[in-house]
């Protein structure tokens, strides 16, 4: 186009800092085009972050769901929560309701520029049994009678 510039593709290795989010700009010094008679400018990359299959992100905080067996939701227990660094054990108090959210401090994304990390919020999904043995069914029937649970009007 008469600009005297020949554009050739080239590959650069760029270190992406921890904590970048979708739309963040990363500056690569001296890798842009030269100005008129001047030194090369800077190249700016606009980051596009693919969605994660397990986590959603809000700022530096991550959100996930954790399956809790019915028995542990009622009586209490511990379940493993997947984090970015592996597994963490989450203590489930007795009578934990479906949808309750637990905050695990420091297990979210690092803050851009260093320092603190966000939290991981784990939302409880109480898992009902897929099938019951005869003994389990009898125990639930006994519980139903003890609690006087009947049809709702």
pLDDT digits (tens, 9 = 90+) for 50-69: 888 999 999 999 999 999 99
In the chain, the domains with their CATH numbers are: 1-50 (no CATH), 56-146 (2.60.260.20)
Phi-psi category of 37—alpha, beta or left, where left has phi over 0 and alpha has psi -120 to 50? left
> Once rounded to an integer, what is the mean pLDDT over residues 23-40?
85
Rounded Cα distance between 57 and 3, Å, is 43
Query: Each residue of 127-153: pLDDT tens digit?
Result: 999 999 999 999 999 988 988 766 665
Q: Which residues contact 49 (CB under 8 A, 6 or more apart)?
A: 20, 21, 22, 57
Q: What is the per-residue pLDDT for 10?
A: 83
Q: What is the pTM of this model?
A: 0.78
User: For 94, which DSSP code?
Assistant: T
More confident residue, 90 or 151: 90
């Amino acid at each position: 186009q008469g600009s005297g510039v020949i554009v050739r593709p080239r590959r650069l290795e760029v270190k992406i800092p921890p904590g970048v989010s979708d739309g963040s700009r990363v500056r690569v010094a001296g890798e842009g085009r030269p100005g008129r008679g001047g030194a090369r400018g800077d190249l700016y990359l606009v980051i596009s972050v693919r969605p994660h299959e397990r986590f959603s992100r809000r700022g530096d905080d991550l959100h996930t769901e954790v399956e809790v067996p019915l028995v542990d939701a009622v009586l209490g227990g511990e379940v493993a929560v997947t984090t970015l660094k592996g597994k963490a054990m989450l203590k489930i108090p007795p009578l934990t309701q479906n949808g309750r959210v637990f905050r695990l401090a420091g297990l979210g994304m690092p803050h851009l520029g260093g320092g603190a990390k966000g939290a991981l919020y784990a939302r409880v999904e109480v898992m009902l049994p897929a099938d019951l043995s005869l003994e389990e069914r009898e125990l639930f029937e006994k519980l139903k009678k003890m609690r006087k649970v009947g049809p709702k009007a």
